[in-house]
């Protein structure tokens, strides 16, 4: 159900994040604060082994290492900071992108022909509302390396568990990497794919009160076989909920 060139990276990261929540238990007050991982291999849709190791458990914050393996193959190594809610200085100088809200946009399913199938099963997990849309794709020329889309998870749009809630965020920060980068080059039908090397996410606010989330990604530099991207997740009220990014490594498409 989460297939894009194998299990989607943000989905695998969400599994690692939930393992920390399981390690802490349902009564622990901590919530995820930050997540960083290296993707070491493409998993199969089969069982994996997950190990969580506490690196530091303090009164203010705790650090954990998560290892996912499948047989003798390493799949992912992650570091997670967790912390209970606390008090400190407050400010917010963020400015949300000037885009229509989800209520003003049609669903992608209404924009596509009735017999159109999603390119990967992954997209069946959302009700997507793109900020911009072109029926004819690939386009007739390069487009900006920006990908913005309102997304609502299906069948369950929100979760109260902070570790499942954080998993929604990981998926959406990871998601716009290739969609943003390939917009510059899609018109040439380039023979490349770009597996993600790493993912780094800061959780600013809970998403559990927001069904619709704006996935806001840019990939402004692509060179020397790599491209970097940044992703932000916004609420429909204009609050920045999470931010992060990473690097992707180009690989030739199979049979290209």
Model confidence pLDDT, tens digit, residues 123-162 = 999 999 999 999 889 999 999 999 999 999 999 999 999 9
Q: What is the mean pLDDT of residues 186-206?
A: 96
pLDDT score, position 7: 94
Query: Average pLDDT of the chain?
Result: 95
pLDDT score, position 30: 95
pLDDT score, position 238: 97
Question: What is the Cα Rg of the chain in Å?
Answer: 18
Model confidence pLDDT, tens digit, residues 15-73 = 999 999 999 998 999 999 999 999 999 999 999 999 999 999 998 999 999 999 999 99
Confidence of residue 256 (pLDDT cuts 50, 70, 90): low
User: Which residues lie below 8 Å from residue 146, measured CB to CB, with a gap of 6+?
Assistant: 180, 183, 217, 218
Q: Is the pLDDT of residue 255 over 80?
A: no
Higher per-residue confidence, 127 vs 254: 127
- Using a pLDDT cut of 90, give the percent of the chain over it: 89
Higher per-residue confidence, 255 vs 19: 19
Core vs surface per residue 163-196: b (16+ CB within 10 A) or e? bbbbbbbbbbbbbbbbbbbbbbebeeebeebbbb
Core vs surface per residue 15-44: b (16+ CB within 10 A) or e? bbbbbbbebbeeeeebbbbbbbbebeeebe
pLDDT score, position 47: 96
If we measure between CA atoms, which residue out of 118, 147, 97, 109 comes closest to residue 4?
A: 118
Model confidence pLDDT, tens digit, residues 238-247 = 999 999 999 9
Q: What is the mean pLDDT of residues 118-124?
A: 87
pLDDT score, position 248: 98
């Amino acid at each position: 159900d989460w297939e894009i060139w194998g299990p989607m990276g943000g989905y695998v990261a969400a599994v690692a994040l939930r393992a920390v929540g399981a390690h802490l238990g349902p009564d622990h007050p901590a919530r995820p604060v930050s997540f960083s991982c290296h993707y070491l291999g493409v998993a199969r849709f089969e069982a994996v082994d997950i190990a969580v190791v506490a690196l530091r458990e303090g009164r203010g914050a705790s650090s954990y290492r998560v290892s996912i393996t499948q047989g003798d193959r390493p799949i992912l190594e992650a570091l997670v900071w967790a912390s209970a809610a606390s008090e400190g200085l407050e400010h917010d100088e963020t400015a949300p992108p000037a885009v229509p809200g989800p209520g003003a946009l049609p669903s992608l399913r209404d924009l596509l022909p009735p017999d159109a199938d999603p390119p990967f099963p992954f997209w069946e997990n959302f009700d997507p509302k793109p900020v911009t849309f072109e029926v004819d794709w690939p386009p007739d020329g390069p487009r900006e390396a920006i990908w913005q889309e309102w997304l609502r998870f299906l069948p369950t749009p929100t979760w109260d568990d902070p570790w499942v809630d954080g998993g929604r965020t990981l998926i959406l920060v990871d998601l716009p990497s290739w969609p943003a980068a390939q917009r510059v080059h899609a018109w040439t039908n380039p023979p490349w794919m770009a597996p993600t090397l790493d993912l780094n996410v800061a959780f600013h606010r809970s998403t559990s009160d927001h069904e619709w989330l704006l996935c806001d990604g840019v990939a402004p530099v692509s060179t020397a076989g790599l491209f970097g991207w940044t992703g932000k997740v916004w609420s429909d009220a204009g609050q920045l909920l999470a931010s992060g990014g990473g690097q992707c490594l180009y690989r030739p498409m199979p049979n290209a």
